[in-house]
Amino acid sequence: MSSVLAAPTIFTTMVMIKENSIFLVKRAQDVAHLGGYYALIGGKPHENEALIDCAIREAHEEAGVVIEPAQVSFMGVSDILFEGRHLIGFNFFAHTWEGTPTRNSPREHESAEWVDLKQLPQQLTPGTRLALAFLQNQDYRYVKAGWPQ
């Protein structure tokens, strides 16, 4: 008998790249989900909030940067089944931003740093790993992971 999944959790990510590095946060060990893993900045939309607005707000809350909607491109959708949870990620790319990205959410993140794209940590959240696939193959707009074949 197959189990029934709860309604999917919707989240957004914002990819920020400078030279050959990507801005990542390391999730605090005591967070409820994937503590100690590296992730893109992002989070869940608020009620009545558009997805792009969510990604921009989260970039400001988590990294202290200001991003204008005209400077953002849509990358694609990640449809993830992970540890019995259905997650749908909407991934965005910031072409430019104002301010210096920093760790702005110390309760949620142990650290925040620029990481060389050729030396990514092994412990990446599934959503981050899939968002990076959009960078490698820009023809992708939808990626599915963790689902039975």
Give tens-digit pLDDT for 45-60. 999 999 999 999 999 9
Q: How confident is the model at residue 104 (pLDDT cuts 50, 70, 90)?
A: confident
Domain assignment present for residue 123? The answer is yes
**Contact of 87 with 9, CB cutoff 8 Å:** yes
Give me the residue label for tokens 């900045």. Answer: 41
Bridge partner residues of 79 (DSSP): 88, 144
Domain assignment present for residue 23? The answer is yes
pTM to 2 decimal places: 0.89
Domain assignment present for residue 40? The answer is yes
d(CA 92, CA 52): 7
d(CA 149, CA 102): 40
If one counts the domains in the chain, the total is 1
124: domain CATH number? 3.90.79.10
Domain assignment present for residue 107? The answer is yes
pLDDT of residue 33: 72
Question: How does strand 109-116 pair with strand 41-43?
Answer: unpaired
- Give the domain extent around 140: 9-145
